[in-house]
Amino acid sequence: MKSKSFISTALMIATLFGVSSTPLYTLAQNQDVPTKNELATLLRTAKTPLEHHRIAMYYKQEASQARRDADAHRAWANIYGKGQGAAHCTNLVKVYEQATKDDDALATMHENMATEAAKK
């Protein structure tokens, strides 16, 4: 685990000094999606493009899961047809669709923040 952290740090330093021609987003994709605990730290401290890309990756993953959950509940609502089960699933579809929009917006916001941080 320490070697991965070392490699990440080395890549960030190399990128800052123009040694690497690999775009920062590609480097971020090679990183793990942050855990919820890591996300909390990143949200408080993120300044670099790589850190903001990692946050964006987290929200993209969350949006993807919310889409899957909305699709599942939409299918289950159709199975129920009418009644309490269908109403429950239909309500959750709305919740998951809103979560998808919110997560996509946060991912975009952090991608924009990464772009701005790269200009500095």
Positive/negative CA dihedral, 61, 96, 111, 47: negative
Task: Give the per-residue pLDDT at 12.
Answer: 47
Task: Give the per-residue pLDDT at 3.
Answer: 42
Task: Give the per-residue pLDDT at 30.
Answer: 55
Q: What residues contact 84, with CB distance under 8 A and at least 6 apart?
A: none
Weakly modelled stretches of the chain, pLDDT under 50: 1-25, 27
Total-model pTM: 0.73
Q: Is there a contact between 49 and 118 (Cβ–Cβ < 8 Å)?
A: yes
Q: What residues contact 106, with CB distance under 8 A and at least 6 apart?
A: 55, 56, 59
Task: Give the per-residue pLDDT at 21.
Answer: 41
Q: Is there a contact between 100 and 70 (Cβ–Cβ < 8 Å)?
A: yes
What are the domain boundaries of the chain? Answer: 32-119
Alpha carbons 47 and 63: distance in angstroms, whole number: 23
